Amino acid sequence: MLKKLRGLAVLSVLTMTLTACQQFEDIANQGDSQNNENQNEATQQLSEDYYQAVIEDNTYDVNNTRGLQAGPSSDANMKNMEKGLYELAQGVFPTDEFLFREGKVISEDQANAWLGAQSDDNPEGLNPSGYNSQKRDNFEPRYLNSILEYNLMQENDDGNLTLQGISIALAMNESDTFTNDDNEEKVEIDRETQIAKGKEMAQTIVSKIRENEDYQSIPIQVAIFTNAAVDDIGGGSFATEAMVSEGSELNDWVDYNVDYVVYGVDSAPNEEDGEAVSQFQSEVEGLFPQLSGISGVGRYVDGNLDSLHITINSQFDGYTETLALTQKAIDAASNLFNKNLGIEIEIHSPSGTRAVLSRPSGSDTFNYTIL
């Protein structure tokens, strides 16, 4: 019997599942003004879900701290941290009131100094001096692996953009490696230590920023991100955040219970979620035995599945084959997963990404792009 695959309505859009966070009401109205001679403008806003990006002198400046790392990490960690900090910033600085600029307050040199181990040559290092020890008993792992900064801007009465908010993420290592001529040993760092060390370092960073009189009244948001292992395709998550409008004391930390579960590898809080992903895999692979594999990562908030990301690895590049695979993936996902669940599906081939599918939470229609 021939079976028709469900038809597709073509609509290419970007979607993002956003997490609500604490709303900071009293945003200070002071900030460092951009040079009046600079030509500042903003990009068109994709939707109210996203900030307009600041363009200075017809150029989009890169982030001072992005890509700087004390040690190895993973693309999954970086993706979760970058997207997660953006979402946390949205919870404090509304997208209809602020514009987005890549981080410029923390310089590259300052970030590198903080990421380094403390020593006579690097007294500002936030990682412990014990990292440089050649003796295992004296070794202490690097806790801080990377720093990410975002700036939130507003236009003043003179038409100049002023800095009105700073969002910072500190990515904390889950392990480090002790190495000398005779030994190499992985040293684990538990989550409680990650968070505790992160809070200590956040306090130091905020105090340093406040030393500059231009930033003494700028609201600063700091969030602690706990890295997952390098080979964990789910990646790490944010554990806690704090906000300070003036001064340097970070007191009121808000904790988050967010986890990324790799189905088939990790234990899911809800067994039915894993079974649904397994059924999706069976249905798609049953129709396309040439597939190289299907993986699923679920994002859980307070133990509940919040969003799902599925990657399908295909061995073929043909347009019609990709189209048929897209149709089957949408058909299976629509039948298996509750419409309240936001879903993203990527189809990859040896030549790269072939299709991107997404269904926003609460919708019963998939949006897709065939590449």
DSSP conformational letter for 174: S
**With contact defined as beta carbons under 8 Å apart, do 223 and 206 qualify?**
no
Q: Provide the pLDDT for residue 180.
A: 87
Q: Provide the pLDDT for residue 13.
A: 34
Asked if the model's pLDDT at residue 125 lies above 90, the reply is: yes
Please report how the helices 191-210 and 108-115 are oriented relative to each other, as an axis angle in degrees rounded to 10: 140
Per-residue pLDDT tens digits for 32-56: 544 444 556 555 555 678 999 998 8
DSSP conformational letter for 266: B
Q: For residue 79, give the amino acid letter.
A: K
Please name each of the domains of the chain with its CATH number: 40-256 (3.10.570.10), 261-370 (3.30.300.190)
Q: Provide the pLDDT for residue 259.
A: 95
**With contact defined as beta carbons under 8 Å apart, do 331 and 6 qualify?**
yes
Q: For residue 162, give the amino acid letter.
A: T
Per-residue pLDDT tens digits for 175-213: 999 998 888 999 999 999 999 999 999 999 999 999 999
Q: Is 313 helix (H, G, I), strand (E, B) or coil?
A: strand
**With contact defined as beta carbons under 8 Å apart, do 174 and 142 qualify?**
no
- Dump the DSSP string for 42-60: EPPPS-TTSPEEEEETTB-
**With contact defined as beta carbons under 8 Å apart, do 260 and 297 qualify?**
yes
Positive or negative: CA dihedral 95, 101, 106, 108: positive
Distance CA 334, CA 42 (A): 38
SS3 per residue for 92-119: HCCCCCCEEEECCCCCHHHHHHHHCECC
Per-residue pLDDT tens digits for 285-342: 998 888 999 999 999 999 999 999 999 999 888 999 999 999 999 999 999 999 889 9
**With contact defined as beta carbons under 8 Å apart, do 119 and 125 qualify?**
yes
| pLDDT category of residue 127 using cuts at 50, 70 and 90 | very high
Q: Provide the pLDDT for residue 58.
A: 84
Q: Provide the pLDDT for residue 44.
A: 53
